[in-house]
Amino acid sequence: MKKIVAVTGCPTGIAHTYMAQESLQEAAKKLEVEIKVETNGASGVENRLTAAEIEAAEGVIVAADVDVNLDRFNGKAVIDTSVQDGIHRPEELIEQILAGEAEIRQGVKQSQPEKAANASIGRQIYKHLMNGVSKMLPFVVGGGILIAVSFLWGIHSADPNSDQYNAIAAMLNQLGGTAFGLMVPILAGYIAFSIADKAGLAAGFVGGVVARDTGAGYLGGILIGFFAGYLMAYCKKLMANFPKQLEGLKSIFLLPLIGIFISGTLMYLLGAPVSAANQALKAQLEAIQTANPIILGIVIGCMSAFDMGGPVNKAAYITGTMLLGEGNYEFMAGVSAACITPPLLTALATTIFRKEFTEEEKANGLVNYILGSTHITEGAIPFAAQNPLVVIPILMIGSSISAVLTYMLQIEVPAPHGGFLILPLVNKPFLWVGTILLGSLVGALLYGFYRKHSNRKLTAK
């Protein structure tokens, strides 16, 4: 039996990573191919590939939207693609390896810029950005929830001058604030790291700290992360011919000094204008939130359900996180509602219209009650993948209803993740659950009747 190996990874490391793993394993079984899949999940690398396994494989499939170590695959046939392809095109990828259609990765170690030249600019930018986002998310979630928990003692419980002051609440608030304060530096640092390896980390991190301190925020962090990364990649190229005896001087002294000085100085100069742009964006979003909650809810609902954890979904989530850090809890409430709805929608559909779904789909539906309740949107992907042109618009409708109602009722969610686990922190918990269930129910009915009509047409044939 022929052998291949694969690597999967997504920005959050929660759902897409393992869905791609499962799809590749199922396709390999169908094609009678032995496969081992290494996953780069939220808890780190699991099922790590050994040198012997790589050597024995016909080729390698890398289905990841985060950076993985590709140099170990030098000399092998390698397909480097997105995690979505791993989910939706597993058979095609395996067949390309077996047919010898994959390119042989060169034996000479490639630098990050050389890797970038072998892929589209858009994909590389997305991978670098998602590498920063994936490293930032634990700080967002952990810090945000700690801050939100501190509000259980009162909204001013961390203020020593307030009657609501509580020492435990103040400590939780401070810990959460510390984690939140590291988000922009982590984002910038790991964007730069993704581009230039270790040489980019110091320049990106320091640039991110300056972006945070000057008010440039996420936008400044993203800009300086990319600048620092490409700056250091260029500097590494210029210094590539340094004598080996000067390697320590280059990596420990010259590169960090140049990177920190130039990136930090640039961010100081750009801090004020980027901060102004951030404030303008924030004001515009808050104006739409107040004046046009229906339009905002539709936009957020469609973005959240469009790719369920992909870049469009992440854009809405990161915007909500940015405003959450500014004390705007209403925006995040709509984003969370829109993200929770798709898996709950599919779960309700499999429950209400049981005869229209297979046993496997009904089992997935039961799991989606849990995934939806804990804000894991990706649970709806297997259902959407069957007929995306029909199912995704239905998911968008359900998510939009949930988000619109959340904004109209001025519900506040002070934590960036957690789903229904954070209900004690929500200002109107029962109304929030009601808006989500209503959006999910409307979508479930649409989806269920579509499946019923589709199944009847198949039976008639």
Q: Per residue in 371-413, pLDDT tens?
A: 888 888 877 887 887 788 889 999 999 999 999 999 999 999 8
Say what the pLDDT of residue 186 is. 94
The sign of the torsion formed by the CA atoms of 82, 85, 91, 97 equals negative
Each of the 461 residues of the chain gets a pLDDT tens digit; together they read 888 999 998 776 667 788 888 889 999 998 888 999 999 876 678 888 898 999 888 899 999 887 787 888 888 889 988 888 888 889 999 999 888 888 888 754 444 444 444 456 777 887 888 888 878 878 877 887 888 788 788 777 888 888 888 999 899 989 988 988 898 899 999 999 989 888 899 999 999 999 989 988 888 899 999 999 999 999 988 887 777 777 677 888 888 999 999 999 999 999 899 888 878 877 777 777 777 889 989 999 998 888 776 777 777 887 887 787 777 888 889 999 999 999 999 999 999 998 888 888 888 889 889 888 888 887 788 788 778 888 999 999 999 999 999 999 999 988 777 788 888 888 899 999 999 999 999 999 999 999 888 888 777 66
The pairing of beta strand 77-81 with beta strand 60-64: parallel
Say what the pLDDT of residue 351 is. 93
Say whether 10 is catalytic.
yes
Contact (CB, 8 A) for 7 and 40: yes
Instruction: Residue 396: count other Cβ atoms within 10 Å of its Cβ.
Output: 21
The rounded Cα 398 to chain-centroid distance in angstroms is 21
Q: Per residue in 157-202, pLDDT tens?
A: 888 888 888 999 899 989 988 988 898 899 999 999 989 888 899 9
Geometric angle at alpha carbon 449, from 446 and 455, rounded to 5°: 140
Say what the pLDDT of residue 114 is. 44
Q: Is 445 exposed, middle or buried (0-12, 13-18, 19+ CB in 10 A)?
A: middle
Query: Where are the domains positioned within the chain?
Result: 3-110, 121-277, 292-460
Q: What is the 3-state secondary structure (H, E, C) of the chain?
A: CCEEEEEEECCCCCCHHHHHHHHHHHHHHHCCCEEEEEEEECCEEECCCCHHHHHHCCCEEEEECCCCCCHHHCCCEEEEECHHHHHHCHHHHHHHHHCCCCEECCCCCCCHHHHHHCCCHHHHHHHHHHHHHHHHHHHHHHHHHHHHHHHHHCCCCCCCCCCCCCHHHHHHHHHHHHHHHCHHHHHHHHHHHHHHCHHHHHHHHHHHHHHHHCCCHHHHHHHHHHHHHHHHHHHHHHCCCCCHHHHHHHHHHHHHHHHHHHHHHHHHHHHHHHHHHHHHHHHHHHHHHHHCHHHHHHHHHHHHHHCCCCHHHHHHHHHHHHHHHCCCHHHHHHHHHHHHHHHHHHHHHHHHCHHHCCHHHHHHHHHHHHHHHCCCHHHHHHHHHHCHHHHHHHHHHHHHHHHHHHHHCCCCCCCCCCHHHHHHHCCCHHHHHHHHHHHHHHHHHHHHHHHHHHHHHHHHC
The sign of the torsion formed by the CA atoms of 313, 319, 322, 327 equals negative
pTM (2 d.p.): 0.71
Say what the pLDDT of residue 461 is. 60
- Catalytic annotation, pick one of 10, 235, 302, 339: 10
Instruction: Residue 44: count other Cβ atoms within 10 Å of its Cβ.
Output: 9
What superfamily does domain 3-110 belong to in CATH?
A: Response regulator (3.40.50.2300)
